[in-house]
Structure 1
Amino acid sequence: MRIARTLYSLLAWAAQPLLKRKLRRRAQAEPGYAEAVPERFGYYHPDNLGRDGAGQWVWVHAVSLGETRAAALLLDTLRTHLPQLRLLLTHSTATGRAEGRKLLLPGDVQVWLPWDTPAAVQRFLQQFQPLVGVLMETEVWPNLVAGCQQAGVPLVLANARLNAKSFTGAQRWAALSRAAYAGLTAVLAQTTQDAERLRHLGAPQPSVLGNLKFDVQPDPALLALGASWRSASRRPVLLLASSREGEEAMWLEAWRNTPLARQVQWLIVPRHPQRFDAVAQLLTEAGLRVARRSQWGERLPPHDVDVWLGDSLGEMPLYYASAHAALLGASFAPLGGQNLIEAAACACPIVVGPHTFNFNLAAEQACACGAALRAGDMPDAVNLALDWLHRSATLEAARHAALAFAQAHRGAAQAQAQAIVRVMLEKKYSSE
């Protein structure tokens, strides 16, 4: 295992020029990737960070947007248990970092997580000397874990998940992955399936504490605005939510071949902001009339268009509340599906595609209770959603089922926050 990590470290070190090149390319579409690039390699400016929090930081790593939103739910509860909490918040993507700024209080710090080389990890740990590390969902890196072990920093994998595909991949690299998972202090798994896979990879006995995303409380103002959009629309509203590359083209083909689909007001919200312009171009070049959310502001959306394009961040509750039903993005291409829990919390019934391995249990449970339907492909999904529109009593029952499904699984934030506090107390007592 030591030889495997040495080889991995050499490859990570050699890949640094490629990482810099990738960051420059990404920054052309998302300027956030050009921000504080030296932090990616473990160089943190002491003047604007200071060391007054050294040894006190509760470090939370949320790689991207979804993990940052889950971290927000956990942090709200952690702050009630630890009123003096000093937060060190790290990310790997520009969308995660932008979302994470909303979580900061005076005295908190936000930086990039360093590239996983021993030297960069060591610089990061020496700079901040965190009291505990909380990795959100999947972010287990060999050198990061090894560095924390050497520095005596306990690591908790919170809201942990591991789908079958990732489990198979981790098994192929068992010489690396087993040592990394075994080096965790605690694992707080979403489901029993996640816990079992993580245990097989060497993780310490995982606790099954549920999914933080069930604790989301949609912004009432956004829900009210969405309801006003839906009421004002002259046609029923269907949403393609958090779509990924290729899925808008699938939808477009289904729209062309389904006459009833043209009688609906469609709302399409791409998952990644760097694709907003490309999706708008795809739709307009196909002859569709498109209105972008960024262009109508506080007004009601226009009636004389085929598609509303949701080109904004942080407004998914608005989009779900405006729709009679939603098609779940990333589930029609083999990408594993996006989070359907937020849709359910907004009382929006969901049609999922064949690929939901990222949230398989949640998708199965939602389908079982009537909050969601499973489609074989995009045309099937469009037809299922249209059928819902023509059966108002069934659609209303699905709306109630979706909200009940979301509410029935709450409580993970409290349970996971308490587990993290226990880890911190155990470290304190062991060091006395």
Structure 2
Amino acid sequence: MALGLYRGLSTLLAPALRVRLAWRGRAEPGYRQALGERFGRYGEPPPAPGAVWLHAVSLGETRAAEPLIEALRAEDPALRLILSHGTATGRAAGAALLRPGDRQVWLPWDAPGPVRRFLAWARPRCGLLMETEVWPGLLAEAQAQGLPVWLLNARLSERSLRRGRRFDALLRPAHRALAGALAQTPEDAARLQAAGVRRVEALGNLKFELRPEPALLARGRAWAAASRLPLLLFASSREGEEAALLAAWQARAASLAGRLRLLVVPRHPQRFDDVAALLAPLGPLSRRSAWGAEGLPPPEAAQAPVWLGDSLGEMAAYYSAAAAGGLALLGGSFAPLGGQNLIEAAACGCPLLMGPHTFNFAAAAESACAAGAAERLPDLPAALDRALALLDEPAAREARAVAGPPWVAGRQAIAQSMARRVLASPPGDKT
């Protein structure tokens, strides 16, 4: 009954999705691309049966999928990929992962018609959902068709497990419909089993396998040289956090002047202009988007107290810039939002200060702190004070920087195991 009500509601709400996509498309034109795919209508001829379908909803999941896709191709050189997404940033990043014969599409709205049209068009050998993407209608239809669907790099926080119990009649059958889940940690595996997944194994976090591109690291070092001041990077900041940082920064303006340049990289591109306006009280602002194709800050950027990282796909460069004598603050961790991926900062050798809210990456956060690659603070004022203290303790700051890369390197070789598990799963395998 719960699934029937869910399907009926999804069908009724489909027109509202068109309105939402049109609204999002004003700030991010990518949302206007191929709108028919959102409803299971694909203009291109269907791919040949037997491709691997992988769903990476947004930018973080798409980046995490990179080593997995490489491992899948190594296991099966003839592999063809259907890569689906839910956000414009995910789709933009995913385009670079395609090879001839692959397809890239939007995941359809989770209503019966769109889902059936998508599966009839795609005809994959298996489905791979990244991290948390459990869609009840999609999984029910896949199960009815005998299509094995795995949840990979899977995570489930205690908070999400508790919230999910309110919809247990809908979510438990969805979890049971999965062929299996390969979890980031043993704790995630236990929670996924409690949620109803019947076959769970903890293999580790794919994000440990991401290697920063040398060109991006070099770009960041060039930015640091142009800055002339150490950079304090606010990485993947979320709504509300920039205002809190602004207040804390203004309260310490005398101590910060001439010691640090603030570099803010908002998590969501549709907020770039709003964040630029919010930070205006701190003085002139230099935007990455105005630095030209070569990406080098103009001379006047050295006079701007604030830089805005309004670009996509350059987070490694931002971390590299802050690693050269500066530090980074972890966005999403200073408000109750669960934090962001902190592994990339460590891989780039950037000392990281995080807030109290890292429940989406709890195991990685605790491990990074234990390894000395990161440090937890109660709030943004305390983080700013700690940043200033570390500037006065270069040896302590450097110790955090050098601890990051070995911590990441010691947790790699996960993608190959994941690829072998899912490709060995025969059609219809749900035991």
Shorter-normalised TM range: over 0.9
Residue 24 of structure 1: aligned partner: 22
Match of 2:396 among 383, 394, 399: 394
Residue 203 of structure 1 aligns to a residue in which SS?
A: coil
Give CA-to-partner distance per residue, 1:259-311, whole Å, 9 cap, x none: 32233111111111111111111112x14221011112333452111111111
Specify the code of the residue in structure 1 equivalent to 2:345.
Answer: A
For residue 400 of structure 1, report the CA deviation from its aligned partner: 1.0
Q: RMSD of the TM alignment (CA)?
A: 1.5
The one-letter amino acid of 1:129's match is: R
Paired letter, 2:304: V
Alignment partner, residue 295 of structure 1: 290
Question: Are residue 427 (structure 1) and residue 427 (structure 2) matched?
Answer: yes
**Where does residue 327 of structure 1 map in the other structure?**
329
Q: Flag the 1:260–1:205 CA change in 2: closer, same or farther, 3 A.
A: same
| TM-score, normalised via structure 1 length | 0.95
Amino acid at match of 1:335: L
CA deviation digits over 1:80-137, x for unaligned, max 9? 1111111011111111111111111111111111111122111111111111000000
Contact 1:293–1:308 under 8 Å retained in 2: yes
Equivalent residue, structure 2, for 1:273 = 269
CA distance in 2, matches of 1:130, 1:296: 43
> Given that residues 187 and 207 in structure 1 are in contact (C-alpha distance below 8 angstroms), is that contact kept between their aligned partners in structure 2?
yes
| CA–CA distance in structure 2, aligned partners of residues 316 and 396 of structure 1 | 20
Partner of 1:33: 31
Deviations 1:206-234 (A, max 9, x none): 11000000001101111122123324432
Identify the residue that residue 118 of structure 1 maps to in structure 2.
Answer: 112
CA distance in 1, matches of 2:238, 2:429: 47
CA distance in 2, matches of 1:277, 1:413: 37
For 1:305 and 1:52, the matched residues in 2 are separated by: 51
For residue 191 of structure 2, give the secondary structure of its aligned residue in structure 1: helix
Distance 1:300 1:20, change over 3 A: closer
Shift of 1:13: 0.9
Contact persistence 2:179–2:199 (CA under 8 A): no
Corresponding residue to 1:101 among 84, 95, 108: 95
Q: Is the aligned partner of 1:64 residue 2:58?
A: yes
Instruction: Choose 259-268 or 96-105, whichever is displaced more.
Output: 259-268
CA distance in structure 1 between the aligned counterparts of 2:95 and 2:105, rounded to whole angstroms: 10
| Structure 1 CA distance for aligned equivalents of residues 94 and 227 of structure 2 | 34
Identity %: 52
Q: 2: CA distance between counterparts of 1:33 and 1:428? A: 34
Structure 2 match to 1:264: 260
State the distance in 1 between where 2:118 and 2:138 align.
Answer: 10
In 1, the alpha carbon distance for the partners of 2:207 and 2:79 equals 22
Unaligned runs of 5+ in 2: none
Equivalent AA in structure 1 for residue 112 of structure 2: P
Check whether the contact 1:53–1:86 (CA below 8 A) recurs between aligned residues: no
Distance in 2 (CA, whole Å) between partners of 1:144 and 1:377 is 40
Counterpart residue number, 1:373: 375
Alignment map for 1:343-358 (pairs within 5 Å): 343-358=345-360
> 1:428 and 1:86, CA in 2 relative to 1: closer, same or farther beyond 3 A?
farther
Contact 1:125-1:151 within 8 A present in 2 as well: no
The reply to whether residue 318 of structure 1 matches residue 317 of structure 2 is: yes
Separation of aligned partners in 1, 2:383 and 2:48:
51
| 1:201 equivalent in structure 2 | 195
Q: Does 1:51 align with 2:46?
A: yes
For 2:366, the equivalent position in structure 1 comes to 364
Residue 162 in 1 paired to residue 161 in 2?
no
Bigger mean CA offset, 228-237 vs 386-395: 228-237
Unaligned runs of 5+ in 1: none
